[in-house]
Structure 1
Amino acid sequence: MDRAQKTELVEELSQTFAEAGVVVVTRNLGMTVKQSTELRNRMRAAGASYQVAKNRLAKIALQDTAYVGIQSMLTGPIGLAYSQDPVAAAKVAVEFAKTTDKLEIVGGGMGDTVLDPAGVTALASLPSLDELRAKLVGLIQAPATKLAQIAQAPAAQVARVLNAYATKENA
Protein backbone atom coordinates (compact mmCIF):
# COMPACT_ATOMS: atom_id res chain seq x y z
CA MET A 1 0.00 0.00 0.00
CA ASP A 2 1.59 3.29 -1.04
CA ARG A 3 1.42 6.63 0.78
CA ALA A 4 -1.54 7.97 -1.25
CA GLN A 5 -3.63 4.88 -0.52
CA LYS A 6 -2.80 5.13 3.19
CA THR A 7 -3.83 8.80 3.25
CA GLU A 8 -7.08 7.94 1.49
CA LEU A 9 -7.77 5.10 3.94
CA VAL A 10 -7.11 7.36 6.95
CA GLU A 11 -9.51 9.99 5.58
CA GLU A 12 -12.15 7.34 4.92
CA LEU A 13 -11.79 5.89 8.44
CA SER A 14 -11.88 9.36 9.99
CA GLN A 15 -15.12 10.14 8.14
CA THR A 16 -16.56 6.80 9.25
CA PHE A 17 -15.70 7.47 12.91
CA ALA A 18 -17.20 10.96 12.68
CA GLU A 19 -20.55 9.55 11.50
CA ALA A 20 -20.67 6.41 13.68
CA GLY A 21 -22.98 6.11 16.68
CA VAL A 22 -20.95 3.21 18.06
CA VAL A 23 -17.61 1.55 17.31
CA VAL A 24 -16.91 -1.99 18.53
CA VAL A 25 -13.32 -3.25 18.57
CA THR A 26 -12.96 -7.00 18.02
CA ARG A 27 -9.93 -9.25 17.99
CA ASN A 28 -9.67 -11.76 15.18
CA LEU A 29 -8.25 -15.05 16.37
CA GLY A 30 -7.91 -16.84 13.04
CA MET A 31 -11.32 -16.35 11.45
CA THR A 32 -11.74 -18.01 8.09
CA VAL A 33 -12.77 -16.11 4.99
CA LYS A 34 -16.19 -17.77 5.19
CA GLN A 35 -16.67 -16.58 8.79
CA SER A 36 -15.54 -13.05 7.92
CA THR A 37 -17.94 -12.95 4.98
CA GLU A 38 -20.78 -14.21 7.17
CA LEU A 39 -20.02 -11.55 9.80
CA ARG A 40 -19.94 -8.79 7.18
CA ASN A 41 -23.25 -10.00 5.70
CA ARG A 42 -24.89 -9.99 9.14
CA MET A 43 -23.54 -6.52 9.82
CA ARG A 44 -24.80 -5.24 6.48
CA ALA A 45 -28.25 -6.71 7.12
CA ALA A 46 -28.40 -4.88 10.47
CA GLY A 47 -27.29 -1.57 8.97
CA ALA A 48 -23.75 -1.81 10.32
CA SER A 49 -20.31 -2.39 8.82
CA TYR A 50 -17.24 -4.43 9.72
CA GLN A 51 -13.75 -3.54 8.60
CA VAL A 52 -10.28 -4.88 9.31
CA ALA A 53 -7.83 -1.99 9.48
CA LYS A 54 -4.16 -1.48 10.20
CA ASN A 55 -3.75 -0.38 13.80
CA ARG A 56 -1.44 2.53 13.02
CA LEU A 57 -3.77 3.94 10.35
CA ALA A 58 -6.83 3.49 12.58
CA LYS A 59 -5.07 5.32 15.44
CA ILE A 60 -4.27 8.23 13.12
CA ALA A 61 -7.89 8.33 11.92
CA LEU A 62 -9.18 8.34 15.53
CA GLN A 63 -7.18 11.43 16.56
CA ASP A 64 -9.72 14.10 15.61
CA THR A 65 -12.86 12.17 16.55
CA ALA A 66 -14.86 11.48 19.70
CA TYR A 67 -13.53 7.90 19.70
CA VAL A 68 -9.94 8.87 20.56
CA GLY A 69 -10.32 6.95 23.86
CA ILE A 70 -10.36 3.55 22.15
CA GLN A 71 -6.83 3.91 20.72
CA SER A 72 -5.37 1.74 23.48
CA MET A 73 -7.56 -1.17 22.31
CA LEU A 74 -5.98 -1.20 18.86
CA THR A 75 -3.31 -3.83 19.39
CA GLY A 76 -2.95 -7.12 17.58
CA PRO A 77 -5.23 -8.35 14.80
CA ILE A 78 -8.33 -6.21 15.25
CA GLY A 79 -11.51 -5.50 13.36
CA LEU A 80 -13.83 -2.53 13.73
CA ALA A 81 -17.59 -2.85 13.70
CA TYR A 82 -19.51 0.42 13.47
CA SER A 83 -22.99 1.75 12.81
CA GLN A 84 -25.02 4.91 13.14
CA ASP A 85 -27.55 3.04 15.28
CA PRO A 86 -25.90 2.79 18.71
CA VAL A 87 -27.04 -0.82 19.15
CA ALA A 88 -26.80 -2.52 15.74
CA ALA A 89 -23.04 -3.13 15.47
CA ALA A 90 -22.73 -4.21 19.11
CA LYS A 91 -25.66 -6.61 18.82
CA VAL A 92 -24.34 -8.37 15.71
CA ALA A 93 -20.75 -8.53 17.02
CA VAL A 94 -21.81 -10.02 20.37
CA GLU A 95 -24.16 -12.55 18.74
CA PHE A 96 -21.44 -13.62 16.29
CA ALA A 97 -18.84 -13.89 19.06
CA LYS A 98 -21.17 -16.30 20.88
CA THR A 99 -21.20 -18.63 17.86
CA THR A 100 -17.42 -18.78 17.38
CA ASP A 101 -14.35 -18.64 19.56
CA LYS A 102 -12.37 -16.93 16.79
CA LEU A 103 -13.84 -13.49 17.46
CA GLU A 104 -13.34 -11.72 20.77
CA ILE A 105 -14.94 -8.45 21.85
CA VAL A 106 -12.16 -6.15 23.08
CA GLY A 107 -14.32 -3.10 23.83
CA GLY A 108 -15.59 -0.09 22.00
CA GLY A 109 -16.88 3.39 22.21
CA MET A 110 -20.12 5.28 22.00
CA GLY A 111 -19.19 8.87 21.31
CA ASP A 112 -16.57 9.87 23.85
CA THR A 113 -17.64 7.08 26.24
CA VAL A 114 -15.24 4.13 26.24
CA LEU A 115 -16.86 0.72 26.70
CA ASP A 116 -15.25 -2.43 28.05
CA PRO A 117 -16.38 -5.88 26.79
CA ALA A 118 -19.13 -6.00 29.45
CA GLY A 119 -20.34 -2.56 28.35
CA VAL A 120 -20.54 -3.68 24.72
CA THR A 121 -22.48 -6.79 25.80
CA ALA A 122 -24.87 -4.63 27.84
CA LEU A 123 -25.32 -2.30 24.87
CA ALA A 124 -26.09 -5.30 22.65
CA SER A 125 -28.90 -6.38 24.97
CA LEU A 126 -30.76 -3.10 24.43
CA PRO A 127 -33.49 -2.97 21.78
CA SER A 128 -32.48 -1.42 18.46
CA LEU A 129 -33.71 1.96 17.29
CA ASP A 130 -36.31 0.37 14.99
CA GLU A 131 -37.61 -1.83 17.84
CA LEU A 132 -37.93 1.22 20.10
CA ARG A 133 -39.81 3.11 17.39
CA ALA A 134 -42.22 0.19 16.93
CA LYS A 135 -42.87 0.04 20.69
CA LEU A 136 -43.44 3.78 20.84
CA VAL A 137 -45.91 3.68 17.95
CA GLY A 138 -47.70 0.79 19.65
CA LEU A 139 -47.93 2.71 22.92
CA ILE A 140 -49.24 5.81 21.17
CA GLN A 141 -51.70 3.86 19.06
CA ALA A 142 -53.13 1.68 21.86
CA PRO A 143 -55.02 4.43 23.76
CA ALA A 144 -56.51 5.78 20.53
CA THR A 145 -57.74 2.31 19.58
CA LYS A 146 -59.27 1.78 23.03
CA LEU A 147 -60.92 5.22 22.89
CA ALA A 148 -62.44 4.44 19.49
CA GLN A 149 -63.76 1.10 20.77
CA ILE A 150 -65.30 2.75 23.83
CA ALA A 151 -66.89 5.52 21.74
CA GLN A 152 -68.41 3.00 19.32
CA ALA A 153 -69.70 0.60 21.98
CA PRO A 154 -72.85 2.58 23.04
CA ALA A 155 -73.84 3.21 19.43
CA ALA A 156 -73.46 -0.46 18.61
CA GLN A 157 -75.62 -1.42 21.60
CA VAL A 158 -78.35 1.03 20.54
CA ALA A 159 -78.25 -0.40 17.01
CA ARG A 160 -78.64 -3.95 18.38
CA VAL A 161 -81.61 -2.93 20.54
CA LEU A 162 -83.34 -1.20 17.59
CA ASN A 163 -82.66 -4.24 15.41
CA ALA A 164 -84.15 -6.49 18.07
CA TYR A 165 -87.30 -4.34 18.23
CA ALA A 166 -87.57 -4.28 14.45
CA THR A 167 -87.31 -8.08 14.15
CA LYS A 168 -89.81 -8.46 17.03
CA GLU A 169 -92.41 -6.27 15.29
CA ASN A 170 -91.95 -8.08 11.98
CA ALA A 171 -92.49 -11.44 13.63
Structure 2
Amino acid sequence: MANEKNVQNLGSLRESLTGIETFYVVDYQGLSAGQLTRLRQDIRAKGGQMIVAKNTLINIALQAGGRDLSEALKGPSALVLAQDDPAGVAKTLSDASKANDRGIPTMKGGFVEGRAVDVRVIERLASLGSKQSLQGEFVGVLSAHLSNFVGILEAYQAKLGGGAAEAQA
Protein backbone atom coordinates (compact mmCIF):
# COMPACT_ATOMS: atom_id res chain seq x y z
CA MET A 1 0.00 0.00 0.00
CA ALA A 2 1.36 3.41 -0.99
CA ASN A 3 2.07 6.10 1.58
CA GLU A 4 -0.84 8.58 1.62
CA LYS A 5 1.50 11.60 1.80
CA ASN A 6 3.47 10.39 -1.24
CA VAL A 7 0.23 9.87 -3.19
CA GLN A 8 -0.84 13.44 -2.38
CA ASN A 9 2.60 14.84 -3.26
CA LEU A 10 2.61 12.93 -6.56
CA GLY A 11 -0.85 14.27 -7.45
CA SER A 12 0.26 17.81 -6.62
CA LEU A 13 3.45 17.38 -8.64
CA ARG A 14 1.56 16.07 -11.68
CA GLU A 15 -0.85 18.99 -11.44
CA SER A 16 2.03 21.48 -11.26
CA LEU A 17 3.65 19.96 -14.36
CA THR A 18 0.44 20.17 -16.41
CA GLY A 19 1.02 22.50 -19.35
CA ILE A 20 4.66 23.16 -18.43
CA GLU A 21 7.05 22.79 -21.37
CA THR A 22 10.17 24.23 -19.72
CA PHE A 23 11.65 23.18 -16.40
CA TYR A 24 15.07 22.59 -14.90
CA VAL A 25 16.39 20.04 -12.41
CA VAL A 26 18.80 21.56 -9.89
CA ASP A 27 20.79 20.40 -6.88
CA TYR A 28 20.00 22.76 -4.02
CA GLN A 29 21.84 20.92 -1.22
CA GLY A 30 24.07 23.26 0.77
CA LEU A 31 21.82 26.32 0.61
CA SER A 32 20.73 27.73 3.94
CA ALA A 33 17.03 28.17 4.64
CA GLY A 34 17.37 31.91 4.01
CA GLN A 35 19.19 31.41 0.71
CA LEU A 36 16.60 28.86 -0.42
CA THR A 37 13.75 31.23 0.49
CA ARG A 38 15.42 34.10 -1.39
CA LEU A 39 15.99 31.83 -4.42
CA ARG A 40 12.33 30.78 -4.42
CA GLN A 41 11.26 34.44 -4.29
CA ASP A 42 13.58 35.39 -7.16
CA ILE A 43 12.28 32.48 -9.26
CA ARG A 44 8.68 33.44 -8.46
CA ALA A 45 9.42 37.03 -9.54
CA LYS A 46 10.39 35.67 -12.98
CA GLY A 47 7.13 33.70 -13.26
CA GLY A 48 8.62 30.38 -12.17
CA GLN A 49 8.18 27.97 -9.32
CA MET A 50 10.61 25.80 -7.35
CA ILE A 51 9.35 22.41 -6.15
CA VAL A 52 11.36 20.22 -3.80
CA ALA A 53 10.23 16.59 -3.84
CA LYS A 54 11.62 13.09 -3.68
CA ASN A 55 13.45 11.99 -6.83
CA THR A 56 11.20 8.94 -7.14
CA LEU A 57 8.07 11.11 -7.17
CA ILE A 58 9.61 13.57 -9.63
CA ASN A 59 10.61 10.69 -11.91
CA ILE A 60 7.12 9.11 -11.81
CA ALA A 61 5.44 12.46 -12.51
CA LEU A 62 7.78 13.22 -15.43
CA GLN A 63 7.47 9.77 -16.96
CA ALA A 64 3.68 10.02 -16.76
CA GLY A 65 4.03 13.04 -19.07
CA GLY A 66 6.37 11.16 -21.43
CA ARG A 67 9.52 12.90 -20.17
CA ASP A 68 12.53 11.09 -18.77
CA LEU A 69 15.25 12.74 -16.71
CA SER A 70 16.19 9.75 -14.56
CA GLU A 71 19.90 10.40 -15.19
CA ALA A 72 19.65 13.90 -13.72
CA LEU A 73 17.68 12.73 -10.70
CA LYS A 74 20.63 11.61 -8.61
CA GLY A 75 21.11 13.14 -5.17
CA PRO A 76 19.00 15.99 -3.80
CA SER A 77 16.93 17.49 -6.60
CA ALA A 78 14.39 20.23 -7.07
CA LEU A 79 12.27 21.06 -10.10
CA VAL A 80 12.25 24.67 -11.22
CA LEU A 81 9.29 25.33 -13.49
CA ALA A 82 9.60 28.18 -15.99
CA GLN A 83 6.15 29.28 -17.06
CA ASP A 84 6.51 32.82 -18.39
CA ASP A 85 10.21 33.52 -18.92
CA PRO A 86 12.44 30.43 -19.35
CA ALA A 87 15.56 32.51 -19.97
CA GLY A 88 14.85 34.74 -16.98
CA VAL A 89 14.40 31.76 -14.66
CA ALA A 90 17.60 30.16 -15.99
CA LYS A 91 19.43 33.46 -15.46
CA THR A 92 18.12 33.67 -11.89
CA LEU A 93 19.47 30.18 -11.18
CA SER A 94 22.79 31.02 -12.82
CA ASP A 95 23.12 34.30 -10.88
CA ALA A 96 22.34 32.53 -7.60
CA SER A 97 24.98 29.93 -8.39
CA LYS A 98 27.59 32.60 -9.17
CA ALA A 99 26.75 34.54 -6.00
CA ASN A 100 27.36 31.44 -3.90
CA ASP A 101 31.02 30.54 -3.34
CA ARG A 102 30.19 26.82 -3.75
CA GLY A 103 28.25 27.26 -7.00
CA ILE A 104 24.91 26.18 -5.56
CA PRO A 105 22.31 25.62 -6.98
CA THR A 106 23.86 23.33 -9.55
CA MET A 107 22.09 22.64 -12.84
CA LYS A 108 21.56 18.96 -13.63
CA GLY A 109 19.42 19.06 -16.78
CA GLY A 110 15.94 19.93 -17.90
CA PHE A 111 13.41 20.35 -20.65
CA VAL A 112 13.12 23.46 -22.80
CA GLU A 113 9.97 23.77 -24.88
CA GLY A 114 9.32 20.05 -24.52
CA ARG A 115 12.83 18.84 -25.45
CA ALA A 116 15.37 17.34 -23.07
CA VAL A 117 18.47 19.54 -22.78
CA ASP A 118 21.76 19.30 -20.96
CA VAL A 119 23.43 21.80 -18.66
CA ARG A 120 25.26 23.63 -21.48
CA VAL A 121 21.99 24.55 -23.21
CA ILE A 122 20.53 25.87 -19.96
CA GLU A 123 23.67 27.95 -19.36
CA ARG A 124 23.43 29.43 -22.87
CA LEU A 125 19.76 30.18 -22.28
CA ALA A 126 20.69 31.95 -19.04
CA SER A 127 23.16 34.15 -20.92
CA LEU A 128 20.45 35.44 -23.28
CA GLY A 129 18.71 37.69 -20.79
CA SER A 130 15.07 38.09 -19.92
CA LYS A 131 12.19 37.70 -22.32
CA GLN A 132 11.36 41.42 -22.04
CA SER A 133 14.90 42.54 -22.90
CA LEU A 134 14.98 40.20 -25.92
CA GLN A 135 11.61 41.51 -27.07
CA GLY A 136 12.88 45.08 -26.68
CA GLU A 137 15.93 44.33 -28.81
CA PHE A 138 13.74 42.68 -31.44
CA VAL A 139 11.42 45.70 -31.61
CA GLY A 140 14.45 47.98 -31.94
CA VAL A 141 15.83 45.98 -34.86
CA LEU A 142 12.44 45.90 -36.58
CA SER A 143 11.88 49.63 -36.18
CA ALA A 144 15.34 50.41 -37.61
CA HIS A 145 14.64 48.30 -40.71
CA LEU A 146 11.18 49.79 -41.13
CA SER A 147 12.63 53.28 -40.84
CA ASN A 148 15.17 52.48 -43.57
CA PHE A 149 12.42 51.03 -45.77
CA VAL A 150 10.26 54.16 -45.34
CA GLY A 151 13.26 56.32 -46.27
CA ILE A 152 13.79 54.30 -49.47
CA LEU A 153 10.11 54.61 -50.40
CA GLU A 154 10.17 58.39 -49.80
CA ALA A 155 13.29 58.75 -51.96
CA TYR A 156 11.69 56.70 -54.73
CA GLN A 157 8.51 58.79 -54.51
CA ALA A 158 10.52 62.02 -54.69
CA LYS A 159 12.35 60.70 -57.74
CA LEU A 160 9.10 59.80 -59.49
CA GLY A 161 7.33 62.99 -58.40
CA GLY A 162 10.29 65.18 -59.36
CA GLY A 163 10.48 63.63 -62.84
CA ALA A 164 6.78 64.20 -63.54
CA ALA A 165 6.99 67.88 -62.43
CA GLU A 166 9.94 68.54 -64.78
CA ALA A 167 8.13 66.93 -67.72
CA GLN A 168 5.12 69.26 -67.23
CA ALA A 169 7.28 72.40 -67.09
TM-score bin (small chain): 0.7 to 0.9
Larger Rg: 1
**Structure 1: tracts of 5 or more residues without a match:** 152-171
Shift of 1:127: 3.3
Cα distance in 1 for partners of 2:65, 2:128 equals 25
User: Which amino acid in the other structure matches residue 126 of structure 1?
Assistant: L
> Is the Cα–Cα contact under 8 Å of residues 91 and 123 in structure 1 kept in the other structure?
yes
Per-residue deviation, residues 99-152 of structure 1 (Å, max 9, x unmatched): 11132111222244222222211121123322232223333444566759x97x
Taking the TM superposition and a 5 Å limit, the aligned residue runs for 1:92-171 are 92-100=92-100, 101=102, 102-142=104-144, 147=150
Structure with a larger share of its residues in helix: 1
State the secondary structure of the residue aligned to 2:81. Answer: strand
Taking the TM superposition and a 5 Å limit, the aligned residue runs for 1:13-28 are 13-28=13-28
State the secondary structure of the residue aligned to 2:30. Answer: coil
State the secondary structure of the residue aligned to 1:74. Answer: coil
Give 2:161's aligned residue: none
Cα distance in 2 for partners of 1:107, 1:119 equals 9
**Structure 2: tracts of 5 or more residues without a match:** 155-169
Shift of 1:33: 0.3
User: Which amino acid in the other structure matches residue 139 of structure 1?
Assistant: V
Give 1:80's aligned residue: 79
The percent of aligned pairs where both chains have the same amino acid is 28
> Is the Cα–Cα contact under 8 Å of residues 53 and 78 in structure 2 kept in the other structure?
yes
User: Which amino acid in the other structure matches residue 105 of structure 2?
Assistant: L
Task: With the length of structure 1 as denominator, give the TM-score of the two structures.
Answer: 0.73
> Is the Cα–Cα contact under 8 Å of residues 27 and 77 in structure 1 kept in the other structure?
yes
Shift of 1:58: 0.8
Task: With the length of structure 2 as denominator, give the TM-score of the two structures.
Answer: 0.74
Cα distance in 2 for partners of 1:87, 1:24 equals 11
> Is the Cα–Cα contact under 8 Å of residues 62 and 71 in structure 1 kept in the other structure?
no
Taking the TM superposition and a 5 Å limit, the aligned residue runs for 1:37-52 are 37-52=37-52
Give 2:34's aligned residue: 34
Per-residue deviation, residues 30-55 of structure 1 (Å, max 9, x unmatched): 21001101101111111111121111
Structure 1 stretches of 4+ with a deviation exceeding 6 A read none
- Paired residues in the alignment total 148
